[in-house]
Structure 1
Amino acid sequence: MTMVPQEVIRRKRDGEALDKAEIAAFVRGLADGSISEGQVAAFAMAVWFSGMSLDETVALTLAMRDSGAVLSWADIDKPIADKHSTGGVGDNVSLMLAPIAAACGLAVPMISGRGLGHTGGTLDKLESIPGYDIRPSEALLRQTVREAGCAIIGQTADLAPADRRFYAIRDVTATVDSVPLITASILSKKLAAGLQSLVLDVKIGNGAFMVGLEEAERLARSLVGVANGAGVKTTALITDMNEPLADAAGNAIEIENCLAFLRGEKAGSRLEAVVIRFAAEMLVSSGVATSLSDGTALARRALESGAALERFARMAHLLGGPADFVERAHAYLAAAPVILPVEAPFDGFLHNCNARDVGMEVITLGGGRTRPDEPIDHRVGFSGLKPLGTKIDKGEPFAFVHAASEDAAQKSRSRLLEIYAISKEAPAERPVIVSKVSE
């Protein structure tokens, strides 16, 4: 029987369950353009209002995955694993996690994205490295995964093409924030990478897309349920994003932060807690570690031995970066011409901040986009961001602004003094890892 798009739309509008064949046919029409933009928009809105069952969301995800190429790694005798974050500020976890996991024996073909809204993009950060190719040929991708154990790249034209068209239409029809559609969008690209296991970082807080715990848990359950239903072993951690995760925000600045981390210079930080825990989760899910404590020990050994830093260096060079990038990063990473300290106006504790506003300020400095085709300034952003709860004296810097001009630096310095609140009382401690969803 021929699929009639308007009938599928009507049935979903009326809250009926769609079968696999209907969903697959609709996605084929979405990918080949035989279904109109208006019909795609109407379908998205019908799903937004009526939702989808787990089985429907699995079927939508798999159909979108199968709209293009699906990578196979039969020639690599290692567990194929990955991680995905819903996005935050100073969230450069992927940059360190992939080489740590690779050094522990995993193969990590990581499909990443650009900045979205106030959140920084992994690809934008990597493009700070001269020559780094975020869209390599499949042959180079395979060579990099074989030789470095990891490759952090962007979505290629033949991976989940249905998602690109669907997302573009959702973006202009107020249907982005549908849990089934978010789930299918994220997972179709991840599953097209040929994964065997996946860990998910679902952020909550004022710097996340999901502000409250209830909505974050709902998304995490959907992602975990659908990925497992599609045959990929998946767990999710819900993590705090009420302050920047790293002590840096901005593209080249976060690459510097990544290298410092891999050299062992960020021990004891919230960032380290998240990276190590996700590494342990990946190793357990892949069967390389028998417990989280075993996985933690393996991850720390990879970090402390320098093996993870060596994997990052190898990946960056294979994908077009300088052979000596890790050793001479300062010679290659563009530096802002103006760097200004942001000093505390009085004694106290860093009590709270709006992490979203920190991310938006990076964009204001030029480190992010307001239009998809807009170039970005990789030099700008913030470094030396002290964590909330830090006791600070009057005149002591709690951040440094990196800007293209003196005027931009002064404005951003004033804005950061508004974004961060200093109090005489220390704030209550918040765990950086809030909860785990495994089914």
Structure 2
Amino acid sequence: MMNAVDVIRTKRDRQPLSDEQIDWVIDAYTRGVVADEQMSALAMAILLNGMTPREIARWTAAMIASGERLDLSSVARPTVDKHSTGGVGDKITLPLTPLVAACGAAVPQLSGRGLGHTGGTLDKLETIPGWRARISNAEFLRQLGDTGAVICAAGDELAPADRKLYALRDVTGTVEAIPLIASSIMSKKIAEGTSGLVLDVKVGSGAFMKDLDRARELARTMVELGTAHGVDTVALLTDMSVPLGLKIGNALEVEESLEVLAGGGPADVVELTLALAREMLALAKIDVDPEKALRDGRAMDAWRAMISAQGGDPDAPLAQAPVTETVLAGESGVLATLDAYQVGVAAWRLGAGRARKEDPVSAGAGIVIHRKPGDRVEAGDVLLELRADDENRLAGAHEALKNAWTIGTAGAAPSLILEKIHA
């Protein structure tokens, strides 16, 4: 007979968990037999003592087995997905999903909501009037076959063990455990049923992983997990020391995504969208240039079809925050740095993000960036434009932005794509 205390002691004493222990504890926790305080102790032991590749693979498999696994075999197109570990201004899923669909693949994108300084894809799309995040499995499969593009919330039966454990990690100081991060992400993506997966692992102040070595370890772990479960998986390590794009916030990031789909948009957003699209199409074995699909309007057509299929009005005006205030440069020179984390916290305080999962978010709140590192600025130039529904939120944003940038005699935008990791 298994019991939670023995499993905790094994990992506490720096011993590997057996396959049987892992299978039992995940199943028992999902059913409520293992209490939250017991799983909290085990999660802390994993954070402190780590897991072997075998343990991580078995833990991931057990989380997948806790619920249903979608069957995408009825979808005629090759299936490929992308996952980002999150950052500031990271709206790439929005233009990327219809772009890759326009090139002939099917993209089953199960997305989440924002928490803290990072934005959530579902929060952004919900600023489009009528758009629904929750759809049934039947609707999901039908839309994937018809349009090739779906962005929606994961169903309750997809890796339910992960949903319980994710919430627990958030309140027990165990979010940073690489085995638990990797298994959390990959259990959902593997259960989703996609054949190929491209991971965008962010590195820098605005990312979950601040350190390149730890980001590399996480990426390698996830690539190995995907490959072991029959999902062709590659990862790009990308910079998140500077906010991505020029607009931070829910409706603001939809606006910027539409600019990209119309053939414009900021250079960094376009660069990363195309880089990820090329990796996804390579996994799907589709020899098409995604840049042409942006230029000729096919990607925008796929966007409109995707939004309409989930009840959204692609022509409806987006929310605008009524309160605006500018942040000015105090001296002349070259903008040398602009800290992604501080800008993200400021946008959160303006109302674009949430502190708890149940908190509401503002559709129109956020920040418009007028200068990026490498740009020349003069004293009095606008660096940032703050937007909020309530002027009382401005003070907190200004506090978050203290020392968020430096102006010097030289500066340059950092390299966006740092490394590629594959099996």
- What is the TM-score when the length of structure 1 is the normalising length? 0.92
Distance (Å, rounded) in 2 between the aligned partners of 1:48 and 1:258: 37
Report the counterpart of residue 185 of structure 1 in structure 2.
Answer: 184
1:410 is displaced (CA, Å) by 7.0
Report the counterpart of residue 71 of structure 2 in structure 1.
Answer: 72
1:116 is displaced (CA, Å) by 2.4
Report the counterpart of residue 110 of structure 2 in structure 1.
Answer: 111
Report the counterpart of residue 357 of structure 2 in structure 1.
Answer: 372
| Paired residues of 1:88 and 1:120 also in contact (CA < 8 A) | yes
1:190 is displaced (CA, Å) by 0.9
| 1:137 and 2:136 are equivalent in the alignment | yes
Distance (Å, rounded) in 1 between the aligned partners of 2:58 and 2:258: 40
Report the counterpart of residue 281 of structure 1 in structure 2.
Answer: 279
Distance (Å, rounded) in 1 between the aligned partners of 2:42 and 2:126: 36
Name the SS of the counterpart of 1:252 in structure 2: helix
| Paired residues of 2:257 and 2:265 also in contact (CA < 8 A) | no
- Aligned CA-pair RMSD: 1.8
Name the SS of the counterpart of 1:249 in structure 2: strand
Distance (Å, rounded) in 2 between the aligned partners of 1:14 and 1:384: 50
Report the counterpart of residue 160 of structure 1 in structure 2.
Answer: 159
Report the counterpart of residue 98 of structure 1 in structure 2.
Answer: 97
1:406 is displaced (CA, Å) by 4.5
Percent identity at matched positions?
Answer: 40
- Comparing 215-224 with 428-437, greater Cα deviation is found at 428-437
- Comparing 412-421 with 347-356, greater Cα deviation is found at 412-421
Report the counterpart of residue 292 of structure 2 in structure 1.
Answer: 301
Distance (Å, rounded) in 2 between the aligned partners of 1:432 and 1:49: 32
Distance (Å, rounded) in 1 between the aligned partners of 2:276 and 2:377: 31
Among 378, 389, 404, which residue is 1:393 paired with?
378
1:386-437 alpha-carbon deviations (Å, 9 max, x no partner): 32111123333233222224554576468647422222x1214521101111
Distance (Å, rounded) in 2 between the aligned partners of 1:404 and 1:122: 21
Report the counterpart of residue 312 of structure 2 in structure 1.
Answer: 321
| Paired residues of 1:233 and 1:285 also in contact (CA < 8 A) | yes
Distance (Å, rounded) in 2 between the aligned partners of 1:284 and 1:132: 31
Long gaps (5+) in structure 1:
290-294
Among 303, 313, 331, which residue is 1:312 paired with?
303
Name the SS of the counterpart of 2:384 in structure 1: strand
Report the counterpart of residue 229 of structure 2 in structure 1.
Answer: 230
| Paired residues of 1:401 and 1:413 also in contact (CA < 8 A) | no
1:90-143 alpha-carbon deviations (Å, 9 max, x no partner): 010111111111111111111111112211111111111112111111122122
Distance (Å, rounded) in 2 between the aligned partners of 1:165 and 1:398: 41
Name the SS of the counterpart of 2:74 in structure 1: coil
1:340 is displaced (CA, Å) by 3.1
The code of the aligned residue for 1:143 comes to R
Long gaps (5+) in structure 2:
none
Query: Aligned in 2, Cα 1:429/1:419: closer, same or farther, shift over 3 Å?
Result: closer
Report the counterpart of residue 438 of structure 1 in structure 2.
Answer: 422
Matched positions, count: 423
Query: Aligned in 2, Cα 1:231/1:349: closer, same or farther, shift over 3 Å?
Result: same
Distance (Å, rounded) in 2 between the aligned partners of 1:385 and 1:146: 40
| Paired residues of 1:340 and 1:413 also in contact (CA < 8 A) | no
Report the counterpart of residue 292 of structure 1 in structure 2.
Answer: none
1:31 is displaced (CA, Å) by 1.1
The code of the aligned residue for 1:393 comes to E
Distance (Å, rounded) in 2 between the aligned partners of 1:171 and 1:404: 28
